[in-house]
Structure 1
């Protein structure tokens, strides 16, 4: 070494030591080492799709996190944002069950990293598929005077796929349709929700289809009379006094275009012979296609019969009415019976309605002159008695009368 170099060695070493001291001072005072902690850094699972293709999935919906400690020079540490801290766990290669999976953490810049925990316990569960029934819930009501028809929907079942425990928790797959006084048929597509036994939606399962097509007929209501189809004959000495239906009207339901054509509903036809007492028969209704009855599905046909009896009413000859007697003539009743009898054959109800004051024996003398005549009088009775009586007979049928000058 030359004398020159030897003479400058000491100053050089002093300069280097001085520079190093200055650098250490600057680094310690101006850019010192620091340590920061970041809590709840989320762990991202790697190869989750590959694991899913192998028929496995992470059980539950737990959010896995770790605590990360960053150490280094202040400027380097402060340049690291929370989003730049990447924590990952590789699921590839693990089997169904509980697994301890190591965690890897990466950050940018020249920063030392420590984290806790180093491993996480992850349970992998097999993916299964099961068919579950679809249930349709109808909320609300149709317009007044209308009722819901039979609901149909497609599909009626759906495949549910996911972790075995979650799929097993699905009790039913449900869809809700809401009504607001609709009066026309509804066809709509509504979303499906997988529900557990408590009615809560089960998350993290997949449905084969997320929607269901629902058809909901809305029927009209109409009240119509019941027309009995019955053929009844009374036994000897009896007659049918009335045939009634109970109830006399029923409420039917169906599509409006069908109900508009219906004025009444007939019963099933029945034949009953030789009836000697009141009877009640339950019969069904003849409903057109597409029509149902709200209630009841059957009606009672009430048949009343009464015994046929005979009653004789006596009318004096003075109460016989002679009409249209010519002027200047009068009727000589001396050859007439003192009492004429009116025999009525009818049931008891009819006879109870007969009042002797309502019975008229009438003789029409129109066009007759002075002379003696044999005439057949007419018995006049109230219309209902006349119509319902089996027989009305005057005894005697004819009378002898004479027209004489006054």
Structure 2
């Protein structure tokens, strides 16, 4: 069949054919683009979401068993229809769980994590998916809490620490039997922020359960924190020395007491807080019995009640002795 291209109707027919063909192609492409970018049904679009740091539910009788080796969190990857995925993420009605560990019983096991509450229209994968864990019989004990505090490092000079007061002197510890056998110490460590402490110390501290190497053990502690109060008391004080004359006095002599040259005029005393607070000076009794001429005497220091130590422990005292004739002579010289 031959076409007469010089015929106007033939030319028009061919132009119309290609116009319809081009229109159909453009319409189809536009419709496809609209369907992919603005779908009317989200179920036809597949999407993916990744959720990190999801807690893991441990399916076990916690009163009977203790489980070690399970990571705290896992990552889950969800894939499926956009509408279902959006609804799942909005409700968050799904969990990552272990298999029933009660059925496995004590021992070392390799388990696979599972997801509960996820629509069957979604595919998921969990990381980590498989891992080893240990199930052991659980043991519960009560232990006394020890307080560790280095008062020589943290207290000011002349102060000491009293008996610590704890909000809970004993804690309840639970864990695997093998771990509980390793417990060597249950303690709190008191480390004030500042040094040279003179006031009572009040802190809230974590309870530490350690093995004989000083490493923390994987156990549950109740309570995990306790309040600790350490009373701080003054134990030393520096006060002036007061000399007091004692003994049998010879009426023919007059005595004047002086601290010997090179001796301190103040004394450091150590003792109970109440006794220290009541002490305004330190009385040194000097016995002048039988002394007839000026002399230096070493006097041992007597401890008042509540005072346990003095620095120095003895004191050299100058006892100046004058006679009645010397005094009269002195008075006569003065009158001239």
1:38 Cα deviation (Å)?
A: 2.7
Residue aligning to 1:251: 268
Task: Tell me how far 1:88 sits from its aligned partner.
Answer: 0.7
Q: Assess if the C-alpha contact under 8 Å between 1:219 and 1:256 holds in 2.
A: no
Contact 1:191-1:211 within 8 A present in 2 as well: yes
Answering whether residue 83 of structure 2 is matched by residue 75 of structure 1, we say: yes
- Give me the whole-angstrom Cα distance separating, in 2, the residues matched to 1:287 and 1:46: 67
Which residue of 2 is the match for residue 42 of structure 1? 54
The question of 1:265 aligning with 2:280 is answered no
Distance in 2 (CA, whole Å) between partners of 1:151 and 1:242 is 40
The alignment status of 1:65 with 2:74, answered yes or no, reads yes
Distance in 2 separating the partners of 1:36 and 1:266? 91
Cα distance, 1:140 vs structure 2: 8.0
Q: CA–CA distance in 1 between the matches of 2:310 and 2:222?
A: 38
Structure showing greater relative contact order (alpha-carbon pairs closer than 8 Å, 6 or more residues apart): 2
Change (3 A) 1:207 1:78: closer
Residue matched to 1:133: 146
| Structure 2: gaps of 5 or more residues | 1-34, 249-255, 331-336
2:66 corresponds to which of 10, 33, 56: 56
The structural deviation recorded for 1:54 is 1.9
Question: Matched residue of 1:288: which SS?
Answer: coil
Question: Quick one: structure 1 residues 200 and 193, their matched pair in 2 at CA, closer, same or farther if it must change by over 3 Å?
Answer: farther
TM-score, scaled relative to structure 2 = 0.53
Q: Residue 188 of structure 2 aligns with which residue?
A: 173
Give the distance between the partners of 1:46 and 1:196, measured in 2 at CA: 24
1:131: how far off?
3.8
Note closer, same or farther for the CA distance 1:384–1:103 as it changes in structure 2 (3 Å cut): farther
What aligned pairs does 1:196-345 form with structure 2 within 5 A after superposition? 205-208=220-223, 210-218=226-234, 221-225=237-241, 227=243, 246-252=263-269, 255=273, 259-260=277-278, 262-266=280-284, 283-289=300-306, 291-293=307-309, 295-296=311-312, 298-301=313-316
Of 165, 175, 179, the residue aligned with 1:154 is: 165
Distance in 1 (CA, whole Å) between partners of 2:86 and 2:277 is 81
Task: Answer yes or no: is the 8 Å Cα contact 2:267–2:282 preserved in 1.
Answer: no
**Residue 239 of structure 2 contacts residue 280 of structure 2 at CA under 8 Å; is this kept in 1?**
no
Offset at residue 78 of structure 1 (A):
3.9
TM-score, L = length of structure 1: 0.45
CA contact (8 A) 2:172 2:221 kept: yes
* Aligned residues between the structures: 266
Matched, 1:99 2:109: yes
Q: Is the 8 A contact 1:136 1:174 kept in 2?
A: yes
Structure 1 residue 68: deviation in Å? 3.4
Q: Distance in 1 between matches of 2:66 and 2:133?
A: 12
Please give the alpha-carbon distance, in whole angstroms, between the structure 2 residues aligned to 1:99 and 1:87.
18
Could you tell me how far apart the structure 2 residues matched to 1:109 and 1:192 are?
46
Task: Kindly state the Cα deviation for residue 301 of structure 1 after the two structures are TM-superposed.
Answer: 4.6
Which sections of structure 1, spanning at least 5 residues, go unmatched?
1-25, 233-240, 305-348, 351-379, 387-406
> Could you tell me whether the CA contact under 8 Å between 1:158 and 1:207 is conserved in 2?
no
User: Larger radius of gyration, structure 1 or 2?
Assistant: 1
Offset of residue 92 of structure 1: 2.9
- 8 Å Cα contact 1:37/1:69 also seen in 2: yes
Shift of 1:201: 9.4
Partner of residue 203, structure 2: 190
- Give 1:132 deviation, angstroms: 4.2
Contact map agreement 2:78 2:85 (CA 8 A) in 1: no
Instruction: Judging by fraction of residues, say which structure has more strand.
Output: 1
For 2:118 and 2:65, the matched residues in 1 are separated by 35
Structure with bigger helix share is 2
